Structure 1
Amino acid sequence: MLTWVTETRTTTRVAVQGAIRRTLLAAAVTLSALWGTPQAGAAEPIRIGEVNSYSRLPAFTEPYRKGLLLAQEQINANGGVLGRPLEVITRDDGGKPGDAITAANELLSRDQVSLLMGTFFSHVGLAVADFAQQKKVLFLAAEPLTDALIWSQGNDYTFRLRPSVSMQAKMLAEQAAKLPAKRWATVAPNYEYGTSAVAAFKDALTALRPDIEWVGEQWPAQGNIDAAATVQALALVKPEALFNVTFGPDLTKFVREGSVRGLFDDLPVVSLLTGEPEYLDPLGAETPEGWIVTGYPWSQITTPEHQAFLQAYQAKYNDYPRVGSVVGYSAMMSAAAIIKKAGSTDTAALIAAAKGIDVATPFGPITFRAADHQSTLGAFVGKTAQKDGAGVMVDFSYRNGADYLPPPEQAAALRPR
C-alpha cells in the first residue's frame, strides 16, 4: 500500500477526530485518489521527513518527487519495511536554509518522523546537516554536492547519495587534461556549490596539468545571471578553454548569449551537470556541440538495472526519467535499506546500519562508505550534441564514484575530530 503526505510551509496535517470528521472526509477522498491511503487496520507507518526546493527548482525536484514516489510504491507493495508501510511527509524549503530548518524542526517535533532526507542546494544541505547533528537524527542528503557536507563539515548523522563536486570534477578533469588549452577561465554561481566546484576542478586539473594558467573567473548570482556582462568579461581575458558550473535558467541564458557573441567559437568548454536532461532539454536546438559534460543519457543506457527502472518509470508516468528521478528513487531505496538493516527506527541503529551499507540503484550497486558517509554512486561523462533539434549526450561512459574518492583513512582525516 502507498502512503504519501505532501505539505508546504503553510499547510498542516491533522488527524481525524470526531468534531472535524466530516470536514476531513472530503480531503481524505481527494488524497486517496491522488496517492492512496492505508487500509483499515494497517500497521503504523514509518514516517520519513523530506525537505526540498520544490518551488525554487521544479525542473529537478518534480522528477525527483516522481522517482521517490515510484520507489515508495514498490517498497510498500512488497510489504513495506519491518512489516510497516513507509510514509513520506514533504516540505518545500524554497531554496532558503532558514525555511529548511523550520520545516525540519516541524517534521521532527510535530510529525514525529524517524529520519530526514532530501535538499537540493548545497548551502541548504549544510544547514540541515548541522540541524541533524544538533537534534541527533539521521539525515540522508540526496542532492547537495559540496564536499563540505561529508568532509570539512561532515558529522556522524549525515550521509550523502550523489557524487560530490570533487568526484565529478575529477571525472571531467581527466578529459579536460587531454585538451591542448593552457589558459583557462571559469564561470560559476556565487554560492557554496559554485565556489566549491571551481576549487575542486582547479585542483584536479592542475594536478594533471601543472602548465595550466587560470586567467579569469566570473561569479554571477545564482538565478539572476547577467549573461551579457558575464560573456563580455570572459571574452576579455581570452581563454583557451572554459569550465562552466551554471545550471538551470542561468545556463540557458549563458549559452544563448555566448553563442550570439561568438564566445564559444573554437572554445572548448567543460561543463558540470549540463548533460542532465533537466538542463539539456531546455536548450533544445541551442545545445552547443562538443562540450565535455557530466549527465544522464537515459535513452541509451542498456544495463538490466536501468532498464527495469526505466520501464517502471515510463509505465507509471508516461514520461522519461531525469537525473532527479534517479536520485529520488535511489534515496528512497537507500532509506528503506538502512531501516531494514537497522531493524528499528532508533537513530543510533540507523547510523550503524548506514555505515558501509550496500544499496541497489538504477546505476548499479552502491556503498555508503563508513569512513566519510559518501556513497559510491557515479556519473556519466560524455559530450553534448544535437539530434533532431534536441540536446543529447554522445561518446559517454559511466564512471564509478568509488574510483574518484580518497582512500578511507584519508577521507576520515578530512572530517572534524
Structure 2
Amino acid sequence: MYGFKRYTQILGATCLALTAASAWAQGTIKIGEINSYKAQPAFLDPYKKGMQLALDEVNDAGGINGKKLELVIRDDNATPGDAVRAAEELVSREKVDVLTGSFLSHIGLALTDFARQKKVFFLASEPLTDKITWQDGNRYTYRLRTSTYMQVAMLVPEALALNKKRWAIVYPNYEYGQSAVATFKALMKAKQPDIEFVSEQAAPLGKVDAGSVVQALADSKPDAIFNVLFAADVTKFVREGTTRGLFKDRPVVSVLTGEPEYLDTFRDETPAGWIVTGYPWQFIDTPEHKAFLAAYQAKFKDYPRLGSVVGYSAIKSIAEGIKRSGGSTETEAMIKAFSGLKLTIPFGPIEYRAIDNQSTMGAYVGKLASKDGKGVMVDFRYVDGAKVQPSDEEIRKLRKPD
C-alpha cells in the first residue's frame, strides 16, 4: 500500500512538472512596442506590416524554443510623457518581456531613460538621434536604424565633391534636426575650412511655413542647400521651392528624402538631381532583399517602404537575440546576447556593436529622378554603417560609462 501511494505521488509530481513544462513551451514571448502611429502613418503603417511579416516567419517556424512571439502595441501620441506612460503600462500590467519601437528622436530618448531607470531591455528601432547610443546611451538600450551621424557622414563626401562654398540649411527644430545640422557643419568644416553657412532655417516639426523658409533661403543666395526636413514638411518645401525656382542650378543634399515614404508624395514633382539617403526597393538585386521583397509583396500586395525594412529587422533582431540567450528574455541575458549580435536583414549582414550598442545597418546614397510619374533613386550605392562611424576613441569620449 505504501509503495503504491508513493508511486502515485511520484507520478503526480511528474505529471505536474510535465504540465508546467508544456505550459512554458506553449506560452508566448511578449514584445512591447511603442510608436507614433497616428502622427507618422506614412512610415509607421509599413513599419507595422514589416513587424508582422517577421513575427509570422518566426512563429510559423515554431517560435523560439516552442514559444511564439506576441506583439503588444501602444501609440505614444508623439509625446514623451505618453510614451513613458505606455512603457510603464506594458512592463507593469502587460508583463512584456522586452520593449522596442519609437520613431521621433525625443521620444526615443525618453524611452532610453525609462529603460535605464527600470532596468528593462529596449531596442530603439527607428529614432535617429546620436544621443541614444552616445551621450545618453545606457547598457539597457540598443539601436537598430542608421543614426543621424551615420546618415550625414554618408552624404558628406557627396557634398564635398560639389565644391560649393556658401551653404544654406533647413531642418526641423527638434533633436534629430539639430543633431543632423551640427554633424554636417562639423564634418564639412573639417574637410573644407573655407565653407560658409549663410542661412539656417529651423522649422517647427510638422508646421513648416514653406513660403517663408524658401524666401529666406533664396535671399541668402547660397551655392548649395542641406535639407533635413521629412514627411509632409519636405513635400511642402519641395513644392514651394520648385515654384519659386530655389532649386534651379542649385544642388541640394538631403537626408532621408530617397525613402519611398516621401517619394510617394512627390509624384511628378520629384526634385531631380537631389543627393539623398533612401531606399531604392525596386532595384536592389541581392538575395536577402529579393527574398524579403517577394515575401512582403505576397503577404500585403504592396511594395515595401523603408519602415517595412526597419519593422521587419527589429523583430528579427529581437528573435535572434533571444535565440542567442538560450531562450531567456531576462534583461541581463538580452544585454549579453545583443553585444556583438550578428544577423542578416534585407540590407545584408549587420552587427550590434559592443562599444556603443549601435547596429551597423547602412543606407543607400544616390540621386532623385522621375520614372513613370513617380520619384525613384538612381546612381545609388549601399553604404555599410560600419564604415561611417567615428573612431572608437571618439566614441568612448562621447559615451558615458555604464
Instruction: Check whether TM > 0.5.
Output: yes
Alpha-carbon distance in 1 for matches of 2:343, 2:393? 22
Give CA deviations for 1:229-278 in whole Å, capped at 9, x if unaligned.
11111111111000000011111111011111111111110000000000
**Farther-moved stretch of structure 1 (207-216 vs 186-195):** 207-216
For 1:414 and 1:224, the matched residues in 2 are separated by: 32
Question: Within 1, Cα distance between the matches of 2:332 and 2:397?
Answer: 22
Q: Is the 8 A contact 2:29 2:67 kept in 1?
A: yes
* Partner in structure 2 of residue 388 of structure 1: 372
Match of 1:216 among 199, 205, 215: 199
Shift of 1:211: 2.0
Instruction: Give the alignment of 1:309-328 within 5 angstroms.
Output: 309-328=292-311
- 1:97 corresponds, among 64, 68, 80, to 80
- Following the alignment from structure 2 to structure 1, what is the Cα–Cα distance between the partners of residues 351 and 106? 25
1:159 to 142, 148, 165: 142
TM-score of the two chains, using structure 2 as the length reference: 0.93
Query: Deviations for 1:267-298, whole angstroms, at most 9, x for unmatched residues?
Result: 11000000000011100000011000000000
2:183 to 193, 200, 203: 200
May I ask how many residue pairs the two structures share in their alignment?
379
Q: Distance in 2 between matches of 1:56 and 1:116?
A: 20
Question: Alpha-carbon deviation of 1:95?
Answer: 1.0
Q: Which residue of 2 aligns with 1:277?
A: 260
2: CA distance between counterparts of 1:315 and 1:356?
33
Using the alignment, how far apart are the partners of 2:374 and 2:97 within structure 1?
43
Letter in 2 for 1:176: A
Based on CA coordinates, which of the two structures has the bigger radius of gyration?
A: 2
CA contact (8 A) 2:32 2:72 kept: yes
Report the counterpart of residue 35 of structure 1 in structure 2: none
Which residue number corresponds to residue 116 of structure 2? 133
User: Helix, strand or coil for the counterpart of 2:311?
Assistant: helix
Contact kept? 1:187, 1:243, Cα under 8 Å: yes
Q: What is the letter of the counterpart of residue 344 of structure 2?
A: A
Residue 186, structure 1, aligned to residue 169, structure 2: yes
Matched with 1:256 is 239
SS in 1 for 2:303: coil
Runs of 4+ in 1 over 2 A off after TM superposition: 406-410
Q: Provide the residue aligned with 1:25 in structure 2.
A: none
Q: CA deviation at 1:200?
A: 0.9
* Matched-pair contact (CA < 8 Å) for 1:371–1:409: no
Q: For 2:339 and 2:86, locate their aligned partners in 1 and report how far apart those are by CA, in whole Å.
A: 26
Q: Which structure 1 residue ranges, 5 or more long, are not aligned?
A: 1-39
Contact kept, 8 Å, 1:170 with 1:205, in 2: the verdict is no
Counterpart residue type for residue 302 of structure 2: D
Amino acid at match of 1:47: K
Q: Percent identity?
A: 59
Q: Is the 8 A contact 2:324 2:337 kept in 1?
A: yes
Q: Distance in 1 between matches of 2:101 and 2:253?
A: 28
* Matched position secondary structure for 1:373: coil
1:42 offset after TM fit, Å? Answer: 6.8
1 CA distance for matches of 2:115 and 2:363? 27
| Aligned residue in 2 for 1:292 | 275
* Structure 2 letter corresponding to 1:302: D
Is the CA contact 1:197–1:245 (under 8 Å) kept in the aligned structure 2?
yes
Rounded Cα–Cα distance in structure 2 between residues aligned with 1:378 and 1:148: 18
The structural deviation recorded for 1:413 is 2.9
Contact 2:74–2:86, Cα closer than 8 Å, also in 1: yes
Give, in angstroms, the shift of residue 406 of structure 1: 2.2
- Write the letter of the residue equivalent to 1:363: F
Structure 2 letter corresponding to 1:375: S
Paired residues for 1:56-67 under 5 Å: 56-67=39-50
Are 2:30 and 1:47 aligned? yes
Counterpart mapping for 1:322-337 below 5 A: 322-337=305-320
CA contact (8 A) 1:372 1:415 kept: yes
Distance in 1 of aligned mates of 2:25 and 2:143:
32
**Matched position secondary structure for 1:177:** helix
Task: List aligned pairs for 1:220-239, cutoff 5 A.
Answer: 220-239=203-222
What is the TM-score normalised by the length of structure 1? 0.89
Q: What is the deviation of 1:409?
A: 4.2
Describe the superposition over 1:22-58 as per-residue Cα deviations: whole angstroms up to 9, x where unpaired: xxxxxxxxxxxxxxxxxx9971101010001100000
Asked whether the 8 Å contact 1:372–1:408 carries over to 2, the reply is no
Question: Counterparts of 1:244 and 1:319 in 2: how far apart (Å)?
Answer: 29
